[in-house]
Amino acid sequence: MKRLVLALALALPACGLHPLYQGGGSGPVARGLASVAVAPIEGKSGYLVSNALRDRLPDSAGAAARYRLQVRLDDNIIGLGITRDNRVTRERRTLRARFQLVDAQTGETVLDATAGSDTGIDVVDSEYATISAENAALERLSDIVADQIVTRVALFMRRNPAQ
Protein backbone atom coordinates (compact mmCIF):
# COMPACT_ATOMS: atom_id res chain seq x y z
CA MET A 1 0.00 0.00 0.00
CA LYS A 2 2.81 2.39 0.87
CA ARG A 3 4.48 1.67 -2.47
CA LEU A 4 1.28 2.52 -4.31
CA VAL A 5 0.93 5.83 -2.47
CA LEU A 6 4.58 6.64 -3.10
CA ALA A 7 4.25 5.79 -6.81
CA LEU A 8 1.15 7.97 -7.13
CA ALA A 9 2.84 10.83 -5.29
CA LEU A 10 5.81 10.67 -7.65
CA ALA A 11 3.60 10.43 -10.75
CA LEU A 12 1.37 13.37 -9.84
CA PRO A 13 3.78 16.17 -10.84
CA ALA A 14 4.25 14.51 -14.23
CA CYS A 15 0.52 14.44 -15.03
CA GLY A 16 0.71 17.64 -17.08
CA LEU A 17 -1.90 19.61 -15.12
CA HIS A 18 -1.15 23.29 -14.67
CA PRO A 19 -3.23 25.95 -12.93
CA LEU A 20 -5.19 27.99 -15.45
CA TYR A 21 -5.00 31.22 -13.48
CA GLN A 22 -1.35 30.85 -12.52
CA GLY A 23 -0.03 34.16 -11.24
CA GLY A 24 -3.42 35.30 -9.92
CA GLY A 25 -4.70 38.69 -11.03
CA SER A 26 -1.37 39.64 -12.58
CA GLY A 27 -0.95 36.38 -14.51
CA PRO A 28 -1.20 36.17 -18.30
CA VAL A 29 -4.71 34.66 -18.33
CA ALA A 30 -6.18 37.27 -15.97
CA ARG A 31 -4.52 40.08 -17.94
CA GLY A 32 -5.80 38.59 -21.20
CA LEU A 33 -9.35 38.27 -19.89
CA ALA A 34 -9.23 41.87 -18.65
CA SER A 35 -8.47 42.97 -22.22
CA VAL A 36 -11.76 41.53 -23.58
CA ALA A 37 -14.77 43.77 -24.30
CA VAL A 38 -18.17 42.15 -24.77
CA ALA A 39 -20.05 43.39 -27.84
CA PRO A 40 -23.82 43.95 -27.43
CA ILE A 41 -25.90 40.77 -27.82
CA GLU A 42 -29.47 40.90 -29.12
CA GLY A 43 -32.58 39.90 -27.18
CA LYS A 44 -33.47 38.98 -23.64
CA SER A 45 -31.14 35.98 -23.65
CA GLY A 46 -28.43 38.26 -25.05
CA TYR A 47 -28.94 40.70 -22.20
CA LEU A 48 -28.61 37.90 -19.65
CA VAL A 49 -25.53 36.32 -21.28
CA SER A 50 -23.89 39.72 -21.74
CA ASN A 51 -24.33 40.57 -18.06
CA ALA A 52 -23.09 37.12 -17.02
CA LEU A 53 -19.99 37.54 -19.19
CA ARG A 54 -19.24 40.98 -17.77
CA ASP A 55 -19.61 39.57 -14.24
CA ARG A 56 -17.06 36.85 -15.00
CA LEU A 57 -14.46 38.92 -16.87
CA PRO A 58 -11.97 40.94 -14.79
CA ASP A 59 -12.25 44.72 -14.84
CA SER A 60 -9.98 46.33 -17.43
CA ALA A 61 -9.27 49.28 -15.12
CA GLY A 62 -9.99 51.73 -17.94
CA ALA A 63 -7.52 50.22 -20.41
CA ALA A 64 -8.51 49.92 -24.06
CA ALA A 65 -9.78 46.46 -24.98
CA ARG A 66 -7.42 44.37 -27.09
CA TYR A 67 -10.19 41.90 -28.01
CA ARG A 68 -13.88 42.10 -28.80
CA LEU A 69 -16.09 39.14 -27.90
CA GLN A 70 -18.96 38.75 -30.36
CA VAL A 71 -21.74 36.33 -29.46
CA ARG A 72 -24.75 35.11 -31.45
CA LEU A 73 -27.38 33.15 -29.54
CA ASP A 74 -30.01 30.63 -30.51
CA ASP A 75 -32.67 30.28 -27.79
CA ASN A 76 -35.21 27.56 -28.45
CA ILE A 77 -38.11 25.94 -26.54
CA ILE A 78 -39.72 22.75 -27.82
CA GLY A 79 -42.52 20.66 -26.35
CA LEU A 80 -41.57 17.12 -25.40
CA GLY A 81 -44.33 15.50 -23.36
CA ILE A 82 -47.68 15.52 -25.16
CA THR A 83 -50.90 14.19 -23.63
CA ARG A 84 -53.73 12.54 -25.54
CA ASP A 85 -55.56 15.85 -25.73
CA ASN A 86 -52.45 17.51 -27.31
CA ARG A 87 -51.33 19.41 -24.23
CA VAL A 88 -47.62 19.86 -23.68
CA THR A 89 -46.51 18.65 -20.25
CA ARG A 90 -42.73 19.01 -20.61
CA GLU A 91 -40.54 21.47 -22.49
CA ARG A 92 -36.87 21.55 -23.36
CA ARG A 93 -35.17 24.93 -23.46
CA THR A 94 -31.90 25.07 -25.37
CA LEU A 95 -29.46 27.98 -25.43
CA ARG A 96 -26.62 27.76 -27.95
CA ALA A 97 -23.96 30.38 -28.57
CA ARG A 98 -21.50 30.89 -31.36
CA PHE A 99 -18.81 33.23 -30.17
CA GLN A 100 -15.82 34.83 -31.80
CA LEU A 101 -12.89 36.54 -30.16
CA VAL A 102 -11.77 39.28 -32.52
CA ASP A 103 -8.49 41.18 -32.33
CA ALA A 104 -9.63 44.80 -32.04
CA GLN A 105 -6.55 46.15 -33.85
CA THR A 106 -6.51 43.88 -36.89
CA GLY A 107 -10.11 42.68 -37.05
CA GLU A 108 -8.84 39.08 -37.26
CA THR A 109 -10.90 36.36 -35.58
CA VAL A 110 -8.50 34.56 -33.25
CA LEU A 111 -11.04 32.20 -31.67
CA ASP A 112 -14.28 30.88 -33.17
CA ALA A 113 -16.20 28.37 -31.05
CA THR A 114 -19.58 27.33 -29.71
CA ALA A 115 -21.10 26.81 -26.28
CA GLY A 116 -24.48 25.63 -25.16
CA SER A 117 -26.68 23.87 -22.71
CA ASP A 118 -30.26 22.73 -22.28
CA THR A 119 -32.72 22.06 -19.50
CA GLY A 120 -36.14 20.54 -18.99
CA ILE A 121 -39.18 22.47 -17.82
CA ASP A 122 -42.41 21.06 -16.41
CA VAL A 123 -45.51 22.66 -17.93
CA VAL A 124 -48.20 23.02 -15.28
CA ASP A 125 -51.79 24.29 -15.32
CA SER A 126 -50.72 27.74 -14.10
CA GLU A 127 -49.51 29.84 -17.04
CA TYR A 128 -47.69 32.16 -14.62
CA ALA A 129 -45.77 29.23 -13.09
CA THR A 130 -44.78 27.91 -16.52
CA ILE A 131 -43.56 31.32 -17.71
CA SER A 132 -41.68 31.78 -14.45
CA ALA A 133 -40.02 28.36 -14.89
CA GLU A 134 -39.06 29.23 -18.48
CA ASN A 135 -37.48 32.50 -17.33
CA ALA A 136 -35.62 30.81 -14.47
CA ALA A 137 -34.34 28.20 -16.93
CA LEU A 138 -33.09 30.94 -19.26
CA GLU A 139 -31.23 32.62 -16.39
CA ARG A 140 -29.54 29.33 -15.44
CA LEU A 141 -28.67 28.56 -19.06
CA SER A 142 -27.23 32.06 -19.52
CA ASP A 143 -24.89 31.50 -16.57
CA ILE A 144 -23.81 28.09 -17.86
CA VAL A 145 -23.13 29.40 -21.38
CA ALA A 146 -21.22 32.40 -20.02
CA ASP A 147 -19.07 30.07 -17.90
CA GLN A 148 -18.29 27.95 -20.96
CA ILE A 149 -17.37 31.00 -23.05
CA VAL A 150 -15.08 32.48 -20.40
CA THR A 151 -13.39 29.10 -19.90
CA ARG A 152 -12.71 28.75 -23.65
CA VAL A 153 -11.37 32.31 -23.85
CA ALA A 154 -9.18 31.69 -20.77
CA LEU A 155 -7.77 28.54 -22.39
CA PHE A 156 -7.02 30.57 -25.51
CA MET A 157 -5.21 33.18 -23.38
CA ARG A 158 -3.26 30.40 -21.65
CA ARG A 159 -2.10 28.93 -24.98
CA ASN A 160 -1.38 32.32 -26.55
CA PRO A 161 0.03 34.54 -23.80
CA ALA A 162 1.73 36.87 -26.28
CA GLN A 163 -1.54 37.54 -28.09
Model confidence over 117-140: pLDDT tens digits? 999 999 998 999 999 999 999 999
What is the rounded average pLDDT of the residues 137-160?
Answer: 95
**pLDDT band with cut points at 50, 70 and 90 for residue 3:** low
Number of other residues whose CB lies within 10 A of the CB of residue 64: 9
pTM for the whole structure: 0.83
Residue 128 makes CB contacts below 8 A (sequence gap 6+) with none
Task: Please write the tens of the pLDDT for every residue from 86-119.
Answer: 889 999 999 999 999 999 999 999 999 999 999 9
Question: Which residue from 106, 92, 104 is spatially nearest to 141, judged by alpha carbons?
Answer: 92
Distances (CA, A) of 94 to 13, 45, 81, 119, 139: 40, 11, 16, 7, 12
